[in-house]
A and B are shown apart, each in its own frame.
Chain A
Amino acid sequence: AQKVTQAQTEISVVEKEDVTLDCVYETRDTTYYLFWYKQPPSGELVFLIRRNSFDEQNEISGRYSWNFQKSTSSFNFTITASQVVDSAVYFCALSSPSGSARQLTFGSGTQLTVLP
């Protein structure tokens, strides 16, 4: 069975603070993919990153960075120097062969509010 847990339901930070969104996953597969999506108030899901299970290198893209650790089955997302425009719901998701047709298993999401 696959499962993605985002324990933080809501987070509020003040602009320019750093914030880390946690994601813990469960899968029996050795090959799998992890994703982060952003859902702003408009509703559209915006793809942020995909990471495969064989690549544990951390990735940085501008103010965004991701820390993938297989030992703890975690794929955490950090926003540095947060901005008001970062306010959104962020979803972590998992795709693996156990899920038919490479379906995505979503976490419950973390509502991030960045205050001015």
Chain B
Amino acid sequence: GAVVSQHPSRVICKSGTSVKIECRSLDFQATTMFWYRQFPKKSLMLMATSNEGSKATYEQGVEKDKFLINHASLTLSTLTVTSAHPEDSSFYICSARDVAGDVKTQYFGPGTRLLVL
């Protein structure tokens, strides 16, 4: 149980294009999902908290117009990197909490490696 998937696992795009990353909870419902960014050999940095049916809460310094988050259902949250630039290249990881189960533990997706050329 508590499986989280992400799609795509890897994406290469040209500068200026937008990229959408999906995060799905496969066997549970999640009212809250989290989006993280991780640079090589660094820890995870929380970007935003995604709430089902309401606006996401962004961490300080994260541009909400740059990183659009939509949490339209209890099993899906999407992160769209708009007008991507090389400095957006990173490893993006989502996590989710099981609303009906262990709400104290976050389960993580496998991550998406984004490379912007």
By a beta-carbon cutoff of 8 Å, the part of chain A in contact with chain B is 33, 35, 37, 42-47, 50, 52, 91, 95, 100-104, 106-109, 111
Contacts and interface: CB of A to CB of B under 8 A. Distances in A.
B43 A42 contact: no
A44 B105 contact: no
Contact of A44 (B49, B106, B109): B109
Contacts of B44: 45, 91, 104, 106
26 contacts: A35-B105, A42-B110, A43-B91, A43-B93, A43-B111, A44-B108, A44-B110, A44-B111, A45-B95, A47-B2, A47-B106, A47-B107, A91-B44, A95-B104, A100-B49, A100-B57, A101-B57, A102-B104, A103-B34, A103-B46, A103-B49, A104-B34, A104-B46, A106-B44, A109-B42, A109-B43
A107 B43 contact: yes
A40 B39 CA distance: 15
Interface of B: 2, 32, 34, 41-44, 46, 49, 57, 91, 93, 95, 97, 102-111, 113
